[in-house]
Amino acid sequence: MPGLSEAFERIGAFVEQRLPLTHAAGGALSVTDREETLGVVVRGFADAASGAPVRPETRFQIGSISKSFAAIVAVQEAQAGRLDVHASVNDIVPWLELPEPFGPITPHHLMTHSAGLIIGSEEAPSGLGALSILREQRVGFAPGQRFWYSNDGWKLLGLVLEHLTRTPIHALIQERVLEPLGMSSSVAAITNETRTDAATGYRTLFDDRPPRVSHPLVPAEWMPFNTADGSIVSNVLDMAAYARMLLGGGTPLIDEDGFGVLTHPVTSGPDWPTFRYAYGLWVGEEDGRRRIWHSGGMLGFTALLVTEPEEGLGCVMLLNGSGARRAAVRYALDAVRAALAGSEPPAPVAPAQLERIPDAAAYAGTYRARSRSFAIEPDGDGLAIVEGSIRARLQSIEDVDDTFLVDDVSLDRWRIRFGRDASGAVVEAFHGGDWLVNGGWNGDEPASPPDEWGAFPGLYRRANPWSATVRVGLRKGRLVVEWNDDVEEALDELVPLEDGSFHVGADLWKPQWIRFDDVVDGRADRLTLNGGIYYRSFEE
């Protein structure tokens, strides 16, 4: 179909424009209808060192998209009468001994991220390992009360299914989902054997600061997994077959009632207000269309699957690295939809220039603290920070206001954040542990923090490559932690608790806590975050 050919040429151009601006070496994208794969786009390298290109058959880790595969097995077990999704997991598997301080935690709660469990420390590559950590962690809220994403909750679901079927979770998914759908290139466990014909995963060189486009890529660590929260390795051809099943085509894995249970929206999260979480899938409306979707992220890989049931279209994008997927998938669906309707596909829109900062003049000025000062100056259509002999451009962060990355290796460990007064004028700046103000500031001085808090700021590391570093600072009288990723919620205040630990963030219901230990010569040497143990690094 000529229209489709033109659509996929434009989709390829869209992906090609954006790939250099991501933190990925390559990517693959496919679009399908209910009957067949309509087209595939591949760009970049499956392995940058050898120059091997991404091909349609190249396999990637799909991460949390795997959750819906495990949910299908759970629905099958429920329909067969072997699993009560509303029974306590401790009643189903008595040896679990999972703490339930606020009431029974059920498979339904696990599959809808409403159990109140921590997201997971990833200290253990197995469900049993996750359970041993969960037994020692606090629960944040009563089951069913709120949404809080928990990978460890899905690891527990895998244990429940293994107990009921006496079959490892990866073998269950292989037998119940992958084989019936003809996903012959896919496996449900990450092993060293799968590494031989899979893309190389990549991450940015620096794990101690927010990623920038200019940071070089290095191969990510490879870790074997077979847990229900995300251990499938697949390609865009096989994943198109899975999308067809979600669209009502291909081989049915559960009946209509079961599919209704699988996709029934239950809990809502703050990041996606128009969507609610079902069993391993987000369900809701976007751009006036009903969509069923899920993203995925692993060590060196990210993924996105989106289906539009009413339009009968689905799209999957797989990357060997981290990068923007939503814009590419949305554009691919728009382009194919237009082509099928006989219209001209929309032209690819050039990506936003990171160094172009609208209303740059609002931030310009000199900012001072007791021991430091810097100037923010207009620089072309953007901004630069000038401090001593350093002059560096600022880079915007998509969809994040008043927060910028610094394009300089001596200043990029923290984002620069600006604060405004009641009138909307920019009057303060935050960088690292420093709070600086310009001539427009007329507020009160912040209260002095407790003396013992001076022991906590610094960079903490652990050997686990999942979130390998945590950086803690003391600014404006408050302890804060900054995470090394691209999201808006990358900074959290630490709220002191009566037992000497700190809650991460002001929403005290969220199950995330930090404790500092082993204070030597006025500096804490150890930080424990939700069961993961970090140690102070010599680095600044």
Mark which of 140, 165, 190 sits at the end of a domain. Answer: 165
Residue 331 shares a structural domain with residue 236 = yes
Sign of the Cα pseudo-torsion (464, 467, 470, 471, in order)? positive
Sign of the Cα pseudo-torsion (278, 281, 285, 291, in order)? negative
At residue 489 the predicted structure's pLDDT band, cuts being 50, 70 and 90, is low
99 backbone dihedrals φ, ψ, rounded to 5°:
-60, 135
Residues 6+ apart with CB under 8 A from 69: 173, 177, 178, 188, 232, 242, 280
Residue 213 shares a structural domain with residue 303 = yes
Q: Is the pTM of this model over 0.85?
A: yes
* pLDDT higher than threshold 60 for residue 1: no
Residue 179 shares a structural domain with residue 157 = no
Q: Domain for residue 349, yes or no?
A: no
Position with higher pLDDT, 22 vs 498: 498
Exposure of 442 in the CB half-sphere (CA atoms within 13 A): 4
Identity of residue 437:
V
Residue 303 shares a structural domain with residue 390 = no
* pLDDT higher than threshold 80 for residue 242: yes
Residue 218 shares a structural domain with residue 270 = yes
Residue 467 shares a structural domain with residue 517 = yes
Q: Domain for residue 227, yes or no?
A: yes
Mark which of 165, 194, 209 sits at the end of a domain. Answer: 165
- Summarised one tens digit per residue, pLDDT across range 442-486 is 988 888 999 999 999 999 999 988 889 999 999 899 999 988 776
Q: Domain for residue 290, yes or no?
A: yes
Residue 61 shares a structural domain with residue 74 = no
Alpha helices in 247-365, H assignment, sequence order: 256-262, 326-340
Return the pLDDT at 486.
Answer: 61
Q: Domain for residue 350, yes or no?
A: no
Residue 208 shares a structural domain with residue 326 = yes
Q: Domain for residue 251, yes or no?
A: yes
At residue 22 the predicted structure's pLDDT band, cuts being 50, 70 and 90, is confident
Name the helix (H) or strand (E) containing 396.
strand 390-397
Residue 42 shares a structural domain with residue 137 = no
Domain residue limits at 160: 70-165
At residue 124 the predicted structure's pLDDT band, cuts being 50, 70 and 90, is confident
Q: Domain for residue 463, yes or no?
A: yes
Distance CA 69, CA 294 (A): 11
At residue 6 the predicted structure's pLDDT band, cuts being 50, 70 and 90, is very high
DSSP 203-269: EES-SSS---TTSPEEEPP---B--TTS--EE-HHHHHHHHHHHTT-S--SS-HHHHHHHT---EE-
Position with higher pLDDT, 140 vs 324: 140
- For 64, the 3-state DSSP assignment is helix
Exposure of 216 in the CB half-sphere (CA atoms within 13 A): 5
Q: Domain for residue 14, yes or no?
A: yes
E-strand stretches of 399-490: 400-406, 416-420, 426-431, 434-437, 458-461, 469-475, 478-482
The two structure tokens encoding residue 480? 């804060």
Beta bridge partners of 308: 313
Mark which of 295, 312, 340 sits at the end of a domain. Answer: 340
In order of 364, 367, 394, 508, the CA distances from 379 in angstroms are: 10, 17, 9, 41
- For 107, the 3-state DSSP assignment is helix
Q: Domain for residue 228, yes or no?
A: yes
- Summarised one tens digit per residue, pLDDT across range 402-452 is 999 999 999 999 999 999 999 999 999 999 889 999 999 998 888 899 999
Residue 302 shares a structural domain with residue 371 = no
Question: Does residue 56 contact residue 237 with C-beta atoms inside 8 Å?
Answer: yes
Report the percentage of the chain scoring pLDDT > 70: 99
Residue 60 shares a structural domain with residue 74 = no
Q: How many domains does the chain have?
A: 4
Residue 210 shares a structural domain with residue 285 = yes
- Summarised one tens digit per residue, pLDDT across range 24-83 is 999 999 999 999 999 999 999 999 999 999 999 999 999 999 999 999 999 999 999 999
The CATH number of whichever domain residue 207 belongs to comes to 3.40.710.10
